[in-house]
Chain A
């Protein structure tokens, strides 16, 4: 593929990268490792500074982020042949007591392994003068470095996990928009799916004691029900030629109403803990399972759209339905497929959301259809149909997520966030237009 065309198709990636760069700069701050990460670093440092058989005092402050530090350091040092004379977790007073005890016992102390906070206690500053018999122990604390909060792996995974639902639903929306249609019902279907899945598990699979099989069955049921609603929309659109906007607007209301009815306006939370596996678990290389699912769906959809006959038909129907029909494309079936797929994927999105939040509520997915459409459009898919790329949509979804996350990290309050997000969506589409040279008329 020529570079120019690649840029035209995936120019939004550039925008996304620039946004990431911007937020990286804005959140560039001092980072000091805490907890187990700090422990690992400190153990390495101790072993390097004092080879073989070091006598060490371990000190940790009692702040929550450092919990686990002392135990880990003690364990790792012992495993490496060092001698841990004492391990203190608490306040400066506790450290002083420990030092006094060590002095009373006699013998030299070669190193103090402390957390960052504990290392700064005044008791250690006067160590040589107050406790001369301990020798001159080395103070070893975790080194600090500068790194953007935005680029911490935890944050990046968080972004991906946050956007997974919208991105999954946007796969279906992209199919629909490429055919020249729109599906406004997806937000409601997310809620309906979450309620159906949670309701099934509570009422038919044994509630909190539900088996894995029961949970899987509940999710499948929810997803298929949403697919059926998509099929209904598709039939209305293809058989009765009702505009997609109207049909799916109606189904948006119907879906949301059904979700409230089925849940009786309540959250359904009588679900086993294991249900959060999909939404909160991370089994593969530390990637959250929902993100893995999202990536798999995008890969499949990308192959569908770029390699398969059905994908070609979807583009052709959106580009010129009459020409497609006269070329032998089964236009109605193709359209039906798009709406069914959109319904199914909204169902999947609802299940993921229920799993992330460990409950099903009819309030889920409120306004999501708009974020989903925004992701598709920011990704370069034309609302008039016939063009668009799956990977563009993924980029669009991440663009939205990155902006939201970046603003959270830089303490922009939520009202302002909305204004900025709206402006960015408009700017992204405007940019796309101008780049294609059809902007100004």
Chain B
């Protein structure tokens, strides 16, 4: 171990997935006793980088060294053994086990045949005391609060002598008081010589805790600076970076009268009093951070979740939506953000997926009119240029772009008046992306209304007629002059 070697150094990391280059030669350095913030838009490659560091994936090229020693982790276990602990947004705790049991899971102290519960318990209690926090050691973890569960995760890392802590959006689910406590703990750990790699969208926290900032964009590494050598605006610029000349197809559609009106929509803490209108021939974008309540809002509009309060009108008529079935019947379609889990039955043929929301039309006395279904499908395959060898093929075997087109096709065949696109181009290649954008233009040109959720700011600015920005379940701003809007403006509203 050379004295000058950084705690972690990544050089020229490349990682590709079929059709996507997630990381194209990323460098990253983390020193002991340092908090490094890794920033970037969704899809910039942060999580892939984390997975490589944590051993969940291996890089195609590039080197990873811990304290100067090259490593090539084949599994999370190997990374953990080398001192890397990753704390994911979703915790890896067994809900039924207590904090102590979770912390020692897989590494139980067994002096003889039996577990040494008392020793384990003492050790954990001492650790929590050092961390300056209180966590009930004996109740099942599912009864602990989110913040406490996170502390258990951190304790688990510390007890196994992790020297590198990777934290993915650790504050996303915490209250402001809990955030303060967490940041204090991070400072304490930093003082003890741990290196902390900290991923967050929240710039306030980044500026409060980080020593250095590394910004990723499109799988590349764009800037690496000490925190006091960079301003907030410079960070946002570095994250967004792209020239806004844009690859978005243009359109000219006169906006018509209001079609969908939502008033006072509420559900728990996720959606708090959301009201908006969508007009004929308009694309309305909902922007905001992940977890700001955009998806939750449109799911209420679609009847997918029960709402606590709120009124939904379509063409002035109040809709009594109790299920997606009602919404579809009324002429609303939803392309879900997760097409694999919510949009498609992956193991079933393209034809059956396509038919699913439309069978009621293509049915006589309970029998599916298969010829009609087939001809409709052929028409949409041609119109959307879906590339497939056989409509009976398993839809899960198609590429992301083609899968998304199948989802689109099933709603287009339904001829919905209002279409909700939740992250319509996530994870699909540039060509298909443009085709989908063109299709959205064609739809509004035909007088349909579109509500689009996108975490890609260029897409929001390039496609929307009007932008609503959400933060913590509320609409925090509206941008009507999209042509003059900037990504910085949206990000500021999104960070409220």
Question: Which residues from chain A sit less than 8 Å from chain B, CB to CB?
Answer: 5, 307-310, 312-313, 315-316, 319-320, 322-330, 386-387
Contact = CB atoms under 8 A, between A and B. Distances in A.
Given A316-B348, A322-B342, A387-B347, 16 more contacts: A307-B368, A308-B368, A309-B368, A312-B355, A312-B356, A312-B359, A315-B352, A320-B345, A323-B356, A324-B345, A326-B336, A327-B356, A328-B357, A329-B356, A330-B325, A386-B348
5 contacts: A312-B352, A312-B359, A320-B345, A327-B356, A327-B410
A7 to B, nearest CB: 15
Across chains A and B, which 9 residue pairs bring their CB atoms closest together, nearest first?
A319-B345, A328-B328, A327-B356, A320-B345, A327-B357, A328-B325, A309-B359, A328-B357, A309-B363
A409 B324 CA distance: 57
Contacts of B356: 312, 316, 323-324, 327-329
B351 to A, nearest CB: 10
Nearest to A332: B323
Contacts of B304: 325-326
A331 to B, nearest CB: 9
Given A316-B352, A327-B324, A322 B341 contact: yes
- Between A322, A326, A329, the greatest number of chain B beta carbons within 10 A of the residue's beta carbon is seen for A326
Contacts of B392: 5
Nearest to B343: A323
B302 interface: yes
A72 to B, nearest CB: 52
B385 to A, nearest CB: 23
- Chain B: interface secondary structure? mixed
Contacts, number: 77
Given A312-B355, A324-B356, A326-B302, A307 B342 contact: no
A327 B325 CA distance: 7
A5 B359 CA distance: 25
B270 interface: no
A34 B355 CA distance: 60
A363 to B, nearest CB: 39
A43 B148 CA distance: 95
Interface string B344-376: 111110001001110110010011101000000
A326 B410 CA distance: 12
Interface residues of B, number: 30
B334 interface: yes
Contacts of A312: 352, 355-356, 359, 368
B374 to A, nearest CB: 13
B366 A326 contact: no
A140 to B, nearest CB: 60
A317 to B, nearest CB: 9
Given A326-B324, A329-B356, A386 B367 contact: no
Given A326-B336, A327-B324, A327-B410, A320 B346 contact: yes
Nearest to B365: A308
Contacts of A308: 366-368
Nearest to A308: B366
Contacts of B334: 326
A345 B480 CA distance: 61
A149 B304 CA distance: 61
Contacts of B336: 323, 326
Contacts of A310: 366
Nearest to B336: A326
B367 A309 contact: yes
A259 B367 CA distance: 38
A307 B367 CA distance: 6
A325 B356 CA distance: 10
Contact of A386 (B345, B357, B366): B345
A438 to B, nearest CB: 11
B348 A319 contact: yes
B330 to A, nearest CB: 11
A189 B355 CA distance: 36
Nearest to B410: A327
Nearest to B411: A327
A328 B363 contact: no
Contacts of B370: 307
- Which one of A5, A309, A313 has the greatest number of beta carbons of chain B within 10 Å? A309
A329 B328 CA distance: 10
B352 A323 contact: no
A420 to B, nearest CB: 33
Given A328-B328, A329-B325, A309 B366 contact: yes
A279 to B, nearest CB: 32
B345 A328 contact: no
A323 B337 CA distance: 12
Nearest to A385: B347
Interface in B276-308: 302, 304
Given A308-B367, A309-B368, A326 B343 contact: yes
B187 to A, nearest CB: 42
B23 to A, nearest CB: 28
B324 A325 contact: yes
A433 to B, nearest CB: 15
Interface in B304-348: 304, 323-325, 328-329, 334, 336, 341-348
Nearest to B329: A328
B221 to A, nearest CB: 37
Max chain A CB contacts within 10 Å: which of B343, B348, B355? B348
A325 B327 CA distance: 11
A250 B360 CA distance: 36
B97 to A, nearest CB: 22
A308 B352 CA distance: 12
A326 B301 CA distance: 12
A328 B411 CA distance: 11
Contact of B342 (A316, A326, A386): A326
